[in-house]
Amino acid sequence: MRKYGYGALTLLFAAFGCQAEITEAQIAADCAKITDYAKQGNQYYQAKNYPKAREAFEQQAAWIEQCEYGKDQPNDVLMATAYNNVALTWIRQGEYRKAQAWLQIMPDDQKSQYNLSRIQDKLQALPKPTSAAGEYWQYAGRGEWEVLTLKADGNARYQADWAGYSFGIMGLYSGPNLGEFSEKVTLTNGKGDIKLHDDISQCTISLALSADMQTLEAQTDDPMNCGFGHNVSADGKYLRVQ
């Protein structure tokens, strides 16, 4: 049976008034459910109920991250296995880009590399994007993704909708901090700026679409002034999933 170092974490929890009621016993019980989520996911997977299997595997991944948080040597094998489990449910449903996103969370893992190699031909056979319009993901942790969606709204103009998360040390207990925007953006040669300027938001998020239109980079000039929750940022590299 795997042992977790709860004592140090509990001391940290005590620093947060709203979380002080969480006990070592509760943490131990919650972390012990990881194998149950894996078994449940396998049962649904064998029954070919892939959406339900995915729900269980996402819980497996989220709780592994929660229970391994802050360790000097987190168990990468456990985490990679959970990510691969979720990816396999997407593969079974023909959602190869979404599977790719999960497999690229830990791209150096041998299982991830193997499963990614198995779907390379499927990915290459997908229709090539003809515009920036689509859905893009960036992993936020605890089984959640930051999602940026671009919808065509005229010549080179798009409706950009984004939702992001930031999980703290007690992420699955307290929930994430949140951020979102819904704005217009014009992309010229794959680049454009989203300006969040109102009473509480004063920042510019610059988008850059890759030449193959498979990834989208976001960079913010002043992340602290975007009006998002604590530590929430739209910055990073997003992978097209649709």
235 and 133 within one domain: yes
Distance (Å, whole) CA 172 – CA 142:
7
Domain carrying residue 63: 33-124
Domain annotation covers residue 18: no
43 and 111 within one domain: yes
Distance (Å, whole) CA 59 – CA 52:
11
What pTM value is reported for the model?
Answer: 0.89
pLDDT digits (tens, 9 = 90+) for 33-46: 999 999 999 999 99
* Domain final position from 98, 124, 150: 124
Residue 3 has pLDDT above 80, yes or no: no
144 and 230 within one domain: yes
pLDDT digits (tens, 9 = 90+) for 79-99: 999 999 999 999 999 999 999
Q: Which long-range contacts (CB under 8 A, 24 or more apart) does 38-45 make?
A: 38/82, 38/85, 41/85, 45/85, 45/88, 45/89, 45/92
136 and 73 within one domain: no
Give 18's pLDDT tier (boundaries 50, 70, 90).
Answer: very low
Q: In this predicted structure, what is the pLDDT of residue 20?
A: 52
Distance (Å, whole) CA 103 – CA 86:
9
Residue 172 has pLDDT above 60, yes or no: yes
Residue 236 has pLDDT above 70, yes or no: yes
Asked if 191 contacts 206 with a C-beta cutoff of 8 angstroms, the reply is yes
Distance (Å, whole) CA 220 – CA 161:
16
Residue 15 has pLDDT above 70, yes or no: no
Give 5's pLDDT tier (boundaries 50, 70, 90).
Answer: very low
Q: How many domains does the chain have?
A: 2
106-120 exposure pattern, b = at least 16 Cβ within 10 A, e = fewer: beebebbeebbeebe
